[in-house]
């Protein structure tokens, strides 16, 4: 608590019943999870959500600082609220939380003085009382803690989808990849006791959740701090017994992905055969400079083992181009990884220096136009790889969890396959999307595009029968 900083008086009045809120979320799944908790807390305080900032008594930004662009977007959006707040004669409380809140604390107010509350990643549960304090006092309130004992999962949640839940199994990160800000804004890695995870998943399954995503910056090291050795494979097996029908997880660090985890993925039916395995670079020299603890060869051997155990595995990755000192030869090594790994999806980023990280003080920056050119080449290769993987699924049957309708056409159902691919199914006359939302059904794939598959629902499920629920 030593780092707690707070300004203003503390005469508390709860956010009033009937007030409205809007939450804007940036960044990763951990932030999405935390935003669901913020929504839960504000709902519990009697508030209701709205879609427009102009209608919101409270606006909460859950922020990300992993790359510069995320920083800029936040600043732009908060700045634009100044006039909205003025139009409401100041009757709007603006709160900034998440990773920028954690990193900047009080500093944020110098640029954005109309912000009322700044909070961090370790004190989400304090938000209602911080809002109270800012309203009761004369100035803005800042509270940023260095670490916390709480897991936000224990807070009430207002989940985005009733059939899906984010379940953090670890928080924080101890890996200190040299480019990455996350360990500084999320703190040291801590695991949740297995029995807590299991009882949460049992409760979620009983509430109708069909799919969970186990979250951690490096899920493979789950349990190391609690049990002395990682117990991620065991966690997968335990969650599979809770009644949850599909289990996803992210993120896996290649240095820690164990044989037991591969076996658990290959043998436990509830565990989706879908793996996000960030490679970041294919160059050994760059991987060392990034502090990643594997080589191009060991990474590709791991990929071979994975496909050996699960030929139908959907594999995705993250790649950074333009890390300081990256040469064309280094970049060609990265392209070689892509050629061998047959990724279904790759998230590609141009390196963005983050103040306070070791890489930020490295010399030899890659000129922007070279990074951009490598980025464009990379995207091209990724698209070809994704399309090839999707084409291989034509004429196969995929278990799809339907989530709603296509963004472009309300007469087309949209869902996700086990490999996390978007699957489209045109609705038959007389069918309604609501019958399918949150339910599994087998889909015969007839067509493949780069970023989605299309097909039709097989058998009785086509009529919206509840038999379609079996996974
Ligand atoms: N813990 C996860 C996710 C970390 S952030 C993991 O280890 O994969 C998500 C991705 O953002 C990273 O995988 C990396 O590819 C990218 N990233 C992180 N810091 C970055 C930076 N400074 N510049 C560009 N991309 C970055
Ligand atoms: Fe960042 Fe590396 Fe930790 Fe991922 S494993 S959060 S990239 S430091
Ligand atoms: Fe961004 Fe924080 Fe996640 S910096 S990627 S929101 S942990």
pLDDT above 70 covers a percentage of the chain that reads 94
Measured in Å, residue 4 CA sits from the centre of ligand 2 at: 26
**Residue 293 predicted with pLDDT over 60:** yes
pLDDT given for residue 346 in this prediction: 97
Which of 28, 67, 102, 180 has the most ligand 2 atoms within 8 A of CB, as the residue to mutate?
180
Ligand 2, pocket-test mutation among 31, 67, 177, most atoms within 8 A of CB: 177
Q: Is residue 191's pLDDT more than 50?
A: yes
Compute the distance between CA of residue 322 and CA of residue 352 in angstroms, rounded to an integer.
Answer: 9
pTM: 0.93
Q: What is the mean pLDDT of the chain?
A: 93
Q: What is the mean pLDDT of residues 136-155?
A: 87
Can you give the residue ranges of every domain in the chain?
3-143, 154-391, 397-470
Specify the pLDDT at position 113: 94
| Ligand 3: centre distance to CA 31 (Å) | 7
- Average pLDDT for 155-171: 94
pLDDT per residue as tens digits for the range 42-63: 999 999 999 999 999 999 999 9
Q: Which fold has domain 3-143?
A: Rossmann fold (3.40.50)
To test ligand 1's pocket by mutation, which of 180, 183, 292, 350 has the most ligand atoms within 8 angstroms of CB?
Answer: 180
Residue 9 reports pLDDT greater than 60: no
At 366 the three-state DSSP class reads: coil
Report the pLDDT value the prediction gives residue 149, as an integer from 0 to 100: 74
CA gap 209, 391 in Å, rounded: 31
Angle CA(186)–CA(187)–CA(191) in degrees, nearest 5? 95
- Tell me the helices (H) and strands (E) count for the chain, helix number first: 15, 19
Residue 287 has pLDDT above 80, yes or no: yes
Give per-residue pLDDT as tens, 241-280. Answer: 999 999 999 999 999 999 999 999 999 999 999 999 999 9
Q: Could you give the CA distance from residue 175 to residue 80 in angstroms, rounded to a whole number?
A: 36
Tell me the CA–centroid distance for residue 352 and ligand 1, in Å: 10
Residue 431, pLDDT above cutoff 60: yes
Given this model, what pLDDT does residue 219 score?
97
Query: What is the position in ligand 2's atom list of the atom closest to the CA of 186?
Result: 6
Question: Is the pLDDT at 405 greater than 50, yes or no?
Answer: yes
Domain 154-391: CATH superfamily is tm_1862 like domain (3.80.30.20)
CA 337 vs CA 2, 159, 384: distances in Å: 46, 37, 14
Tell me the mean pLDDT in the region 29-33.
95
Does residue 5 carry a pLDDT above 90?
Answer: no
Q: Tell me which of 1.10.600, 2.40.50, 1.10.720, 2.20.25 is the CATH number of domain 397-470.
A: 2.40.50
Mean per-residue pLDDT, 329-354: 98
Which residue's C-alpha comes closest to atom 10 of ligand 1?
318
Distance between CA atoms of residues 428 and 301, nearest Å: 46
| The predicted structure's pLDDT at residue 61 | 98
pLDDT in tens, 372-392: 999 999 999 999 999 999 999
Beta-sheet strands, E only, within 157-209: 164-168, 170-171, 190-191
Ligand with the closest atom to the CA of 189: 2
Pick the residue whose CA is nearest to atom 5 on ligand 1. 66
Whole-number Å distance, alpha carbon 66 to ligand 1 midpoint, is 7
> Is 70 exceeded by the pLDDT of residue 7?
no
* Atom from ligand 1 closest to the CA of residue 357: 22
Residue 316 CB less than 6 A away from ligand 1 = no
- Ligand 3 site, residue 31, Cβ cutoff 6 A: yes
Q: For the chain, how are helix, strand and coil distributed in percent, rounded to 5?
A: 40, 20, 40
Per-residue pLDDT, 350: 98
Q: What is the pLDDT of residue 154?
A: 82
Band (15; pLDDT cuts 50, 70, 90):
low
Whether the pLDDT of residue 460 is over 70: the answer is: no
Which residue, 123, 121, 118, 122, is CA-closest to 105? Answer: 118
- Looking at residue 469, its pLDDT comes to 42
- What is the whole-number distance in angstroms between the Cα of residue 440 and the centre of ligand 2? 33
Residue 442 has pLDDT above 90, yes or no: yes
6: pLDDT strictly greater than 80: no
Question: Does 32 have pLDDT greater than 90?
Answer: yes
Atom of ligand 3 nearest to the CA of 65: 4
**Cβ(117) to ligand 1 under 6 A?**
no
Q: State how far the Cα of 55 lies from the Cα of 187, in Å rounded to an integer.
A: 35
CA 43/CA 145 separation, integer angstroms: 24
Q: Looking at residues 119-148, what average pLDDT do you find?
A: 93
Average pLDDT over residues 70-97: 94
pLDDT band at 14 (very low <50, low <70, confident <90, very high): low
Name the pLDDT band for 461 (thresholds 50, 70, 90): low
């Amino acid at each position: 608590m030593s780092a707690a900083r707070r300004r203003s008086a503390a005469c508390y009045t709860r956010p009033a019943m009937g007030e409205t809120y809007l939450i804007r979320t940036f960044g990763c799944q951990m932030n999405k999870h935390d935003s669901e908790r913020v929504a839960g807390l504000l709902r519990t305080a009697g508030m209701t959500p709205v879609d427009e900032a102009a209608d919101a008594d409270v606006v909460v930004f859950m922020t990300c600082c992993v790359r510069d662009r995320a920083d800029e977007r936040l600043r732009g959006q908060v700045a634009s609220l100044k006039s909205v707040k003025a139009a409401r004669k100041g009757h709007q409380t603006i709160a900034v939380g998440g990773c920028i809140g954690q990193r900047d604390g009080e500093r944020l107010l110098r640029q954005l003085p109309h912000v009322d509350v700044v909070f961090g990643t370790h004190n989400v549960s304090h938000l209602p009382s911080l809002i109270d304090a800012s309203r009761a006092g004369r100035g803005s309130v800042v509270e940023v803690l260095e670490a916390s004992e709480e897991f936000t999962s224990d807070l009430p949640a207002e989940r985005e989808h009733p059939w899906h839940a984010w379940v953090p199994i670890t928080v924080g990160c101890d890996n200190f990849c040299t480019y990455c800000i996350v360990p500084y804004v999320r703190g040291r890695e801590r695991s949740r006791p297995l029995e807590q995870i299991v009882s949460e998943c049992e409760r979620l399954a009983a509430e109708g959740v069909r799919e969970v995503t186990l979250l951690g910056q490096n899920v493979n090291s789950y349990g190391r701090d609690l049990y002395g050795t990682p117990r991620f494979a065991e966690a997968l097996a335990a969650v599979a017994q809770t009644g949850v029908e599909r289990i996803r997880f992210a993120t896996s660090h290649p240095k820690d992905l164990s044989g037991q985890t591969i076996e658990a993925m290959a043998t436990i039916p509830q565990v989706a055969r879908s793996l996000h395995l960030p490679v970041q670079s294919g160059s050994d020299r760059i991987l060392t400079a990034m502090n990643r603890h594997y080589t191009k060869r060991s990474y590709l051997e791991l990929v071979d083992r994975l496909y050996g155990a699960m030929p139908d595995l959907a594999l995705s990755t993250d790649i950074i181009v333009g890390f300081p000192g990256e040469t064309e030869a280094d970049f060609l090594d990265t392209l070689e990884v892509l050629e061998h790994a047959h990724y279904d999806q790759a998230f590609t980023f141009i390196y963005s220096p983050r103040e306070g990280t070791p890489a930020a003080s490295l010399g030899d920056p890659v000129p922007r136009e070279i990074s951009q050119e490598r980025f464009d080449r990379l995207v091209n290769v990724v698209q070809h790889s994704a399309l090839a993987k999707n084409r291989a699924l034509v004429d196969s049957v995929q278990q799809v969890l339907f989530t709603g309708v296509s963004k472009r056409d309300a007469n087309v159902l949209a869902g996700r396959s086990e490999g996390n691919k978007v699957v489209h199914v045109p609705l038959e006359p007389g069918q309604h999307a609501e019958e399918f939302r949150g339910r599994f059904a087998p889909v015969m794939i007839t067509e493949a595009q780069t970023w989605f598959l299309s097909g039709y629902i097989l058998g009785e499920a086509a009529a919206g029968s509840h038999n379609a629920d079996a996974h």
